[in-house]
Amino acid sequence: MPSMTEPKLISGNSNKPLATSIARRMSMHRGVNVGLVDARVERFNDQEIFVEVFENVRGEDMFIIQSTSNPANDNLMELLIMTDALRRSSAARITAVIPYFGYARQDRRAKARTPISAKLVANLLTEAGVERVLTLDLHAAQIQGFFDIPVDNLYASPIFALDIEHHFRGRLGDLMIVSPDVGGVARARELAKRINAPLAIVDKRREKAGEVAGMTVIGNVEGKTCIIVDDICDTAGTLCKAAEVLMEAGAAEVHSYITHGVMSGPAVDRVEKSVMKSLVITDSIEPTENVRNAKNIRIVPTAPMFAQAILNIWSGTSVSSLFETETLSPIYEGMYSRS
């Protein structure tokens, strides 16, 4: 161990249940009670954010758990102000644990006179005092290069592979992994390789942002149980349309595994009325009541993986080991049996 200090967790308001679950899992791994640092993150009447930390954090290894999900701007400002508070309180190191990294969809200048917001957010975090970032399934891998500090990008695919092997036991030979667009092929191929399944692609054409002009299935999905894999489900329009196109192409049934369930606007209603048998998302974004009550939406936990990743960062051991099924399986042993 590099020091005698214990890892300390602090949470903003974006996803308190996940932060609490991570602390509980770390308590199990460590054999000692790990709780969230006592602090308040509140608003003045004009909605300015106020942070006060009630515990001594001098010389401590601090981990701020905060997704920059809806409301993205408020949650991002909470993260920045909490970082500033810890830095001014002489924390030894500040790691931002961002299960869902907002603004990641603006990672390049696709048109003239547009921003690269992901780079701006990276600059803000670094200037505020963040010394390391731990996140899950960045929308674009190159965002890691926007930082001049270490970035650990975890992947949901090992968890999804365990979940698929558990829930589709006996039917693995009938599965077909599907990428909903050409840009997501690498992510889908990674999962397909883990469960030894073939890969298909839904090629979509857009006339303008947010509007799909047409879709074509590349690959033979007839009679297959198709599993669509993607990183973000926002309004679910494209996802539900892709499921319809797959069914029209002869698929037996369609399921979806999406890392970040943004689920804005009519998303839940669309998913419930769609031809999809199930939509599986992680808890990187705190699910709304509508999401929790939806009959065909299921949530898989990320707390076991994040807890182990935090412990590995604190102890100076490998984080990339969590990419391997052999490492992750024991962590999720209580949930998924591979026998």
Task: State how far the Cα of 60 lies from the Cα of 90, in Å rounded to an integer.
Answer: 8
Task: State how far the Cα of 25 lies from the Cα of 21, in Å rounded to an integer.
Answer: 6
DSSP annotation of 47 reads -
Amino acid at 210: G
> Looking at residue 204, what is its pLDDT?
75
> Looking at residue 6, what is its pLDDT?
83
Q: What percent of the chain has pLDDT over 70?
A: 95
What's the whole-number average pLDDT of the chain? Answer: 92
Cβ contact 180:174 at 8 Å: no
Give the 3-state secondary structure of residue 265.
coil
Mean pLDDT to the nearest integer, 138-142: 92
Is the confidence at residue 214, as pLDDT, over 80? no
Per the DSSP assignment, residues forming a β-bridge with 256 are 228, 279
> Looking at residue 338, what is its pLDDT?
56
Parallel, antiparallel or unpaired: strands 61-65 and 49-53:
unpaired
DSSP annotation of 182 reads G
Q: Which of 41-55, 129-143, 214-228, 319-333 shows the lowest mean pLDDT across its residues?
A: 319-333
> Looking at residue 206, what is its pLDDT?
60
Amino acid at 57: V
> Looking at residue 2, what is its pLDDT?
44
pLDDT digits (tens, 9 = 90+) for 166-211: 999 999 999 999 999 888 899 999 999 999 999 999 987 665 555 5
pLDDT digits (tens, 9 = 90+) for 277-289: 999 999 999 999 9
Other Cβ atoms within 10 Å of 36 Cβ, number: 16
Q: Is 204 part of the annotated catalytic residue set?
A: yes
Burial of 8-32, coded b for 16+ CB within 10 Å and e otherwise, reads bbbbbbbbeebbbbbbebbeeeeee
Task: State how far the Cα of 191 lies from the Cα of 203, in Å rounded to an integer.
Answer: 19
> Looking at residue 137, what is its pLDDT?
96
Is the confidence at residue 4, as pLDDT, over 60? no
As a dihedral over the C-alpha atoms of residue 307, residue 311, residue 316, residue 318, rounded to 10 degrees, the angle is -40
Cβ contact 239:217 at 8 Å: no
> Looking at residue 1, what is its pLDDT?
42
Q: Which of 115-119, 153-157, 261-265, 324-328 shows the lowest mean pLDDT across its residues?
A: 324-328
Q: Give the helix/strand (H/E) hosting 22.
A: helix 16-30
> Looking at residue 337, what is its pLDDT?
64
> Looking at residue 138, what is its pLDDT?
95
Task: State how far the Cα of 144 lies from the Cα of 308, in Å rounded to an integer.
Answer: 21
More confident residue, 205 or 318: 318
Vertex 151, ends 64 and 108: CA angle to 5°?
110
Strand ranges (E), 170-249: 175-179, 199-208, 211-218, 225-233
With CA atoms as reference, report the closest residue to 322 among 303, 302, 337, 308. Answer: 308
Task: State how far the Cα of 245 lies from the Cα of 132, in Å rounded to an integer.
Answer: 42
Place of tokens 């954010």: 49
Residue among 16, 193, 204, 273 flagged as catalytic? 204
With CA atoms as reference, report the closest residue to 84 among 96, 69, 97, 71. Answer: 96
Is the confidence at residue 111, as pLDDT, over 90? no
> Looking at residue 110, what is its pLDDT?
84
Is the confidence at residue 31, as pLDDT, over 80? no
Task: State how far the Cα of 84 lies from the Cα of 86, in Å rounded to an integer.
Answer: 5
Q: Which residues contact 115 (CB under 8 A, 6 or more apart)?
A: 106, 109
Give the 3-state secondary structure of residue 147.
coil
| Statement: the pTM of the whole predicted model exceeds 0.85 | yes
Per the DSSP assignment, residues forming a β-bridge with 299 are 281
